[in-house]
Amino acid sequence: MTDDLPEIHTKPVPLYAKLKQAIIEKIYTGEWKPHDRVPSEAELVKQFNCSRMTANRALRELTAEGFLFRLQGVGSFVSEPKGQSALFEIHSIADEIAARANQHRCKVLKLSEVSANMTQAAEFSIAVGAPLYHSIIIHYENDVPVQIEDRYVNVQAAPAYLKQDFGRQTAHDYLSQVAPLTEGEHVVEAIAGDARSCRLLQIDVNTPCLLISRRTWSKKFIVSSARLLFPGHRYKLKGRFSS
C-alpha cells in the first residue's frame, strides 16, 4: 500500500544513532532523571569507543529533539518531559464526534506486525527486534479527516489486535476492553504538518497541526504508544481539572 511507512531498515545503524539510543534508554527507564547531568563528550568517547565528533553529534541532536538541554561551560542535562499531564481524560475519538452529533468513520491504512527498533524497544521496555503491532488509521468527522492515528501496540497486551475490525470499534475502545487503562501519559506539541500528513488530512503543506503523543498502561504494563495528529483549525484540546 502506498501510504504504508517502512519499518525495517536494512542499512547498518550509525554509531552516533546507537549512542543517542543508549542515552534515550537511560532517560525512558528513569536511570537518568530530569536535570541529571549526562556524561561529557570526553566521557562518552571513552565509554563508547567513538570519536569526539560522534559524541558531539549525538548530544547536539538530542538537545535539538528536546531530550537534553545544555549549559555552556557546565555540560548537558536531562530535560523535563514536555507537555505531560495526568489530568487529561482519554476518550475515544468516535465518542467525541458522536457527542457533537456528527458522524464518525475511519480508514485503516496499515495493520501489521513489525519488529521493534531501538527507540520502540526502549519505549515499551522490550528487546530490539521483538514484535509489535502497528496500525495507521485516518478518522473522519462527517467525511472530513480530523485525525491520523499512528499506533504501536504491545503484542502481549492485545494478542488479537490484528484481527479486529476498527471500522466497527476504535482501537482505543478495543484496547480499553482487553487491557483496561490505569495510567496515561501525554506529550502535546504544535507542529507544521509534513507533505504526507497534510495530504491525508486534506490540508495545505505546513498547516499548523496539533500532535499528541500518548502512552498508556494497564497496571504496570505498557499497552500502547500512539501519535495522534490533528489539523490545528479542526481541533482544540479541552481539560477539566479539580483539586
> In this predicted structure, what is the pLDDT of residue 81?
61
Predicted local distance difference test score (pLDDT) of residue 160: 96
SS3 (DSSP) at 62? helix
Distance of CA 75 to the CA centre of its chain: 28
The per-residue pLDDT for 34 is: 84
Alpha carbon 142 to chain centroid distance? 27
Give the pLDDT confidence score for residue 243 in this predicted structure.
41
CATH for 93-231, options being 3.50.50.60, 3.20.20.70, 3.40.1410.10, 1.10.3720.10? 3.40.1410.10
Q: Which ranges in the chain belong to alpha helices (H)? A: 15-28, 41-48, 52-64, 93-99, 118-124, 171-178, 195-201
Nearest to 67 by CA among 97, 33, 42: 33
User: Chain centroid to CA 126: how far?
Assistant: 16
- pLDDT at residue 234 in the model: 66
Number of continuous H segments (helices) and E segments (strands) in the chain? 7, 8
Q: What is the pLDDT of residues 187-216, one digit of tens each?
A: 888 898 889 999 999 988 888 898 999 999
Q: Burial of 75 by CB count in 10 Å (0-12 exposed, 13-18 middle, 19+ buried)?
A: middle
The domain defined by 15-78 carries CATH number 1.10.10.10: yes
Residue 1 pLDDT: 42
Rg of the chain taking only CA atoms, in angstroms: 19
Q: What's 81's DSSP letter? A: P
Q: Where are the domains of the chain?
A: 15-78, 93-231
DSSP 8-class letter at 232:
G
* Residue ranges in the chain whose pLDDT is less than 50: 1-10, 82-87, 241-243
Handedness of CA 61, 62, 65, 68 (dihedral sign): negative
Q: Which residues pair with 234 in a beta bridge?
A: none
The confidence score (pLDDT) of residue 205 equals 85
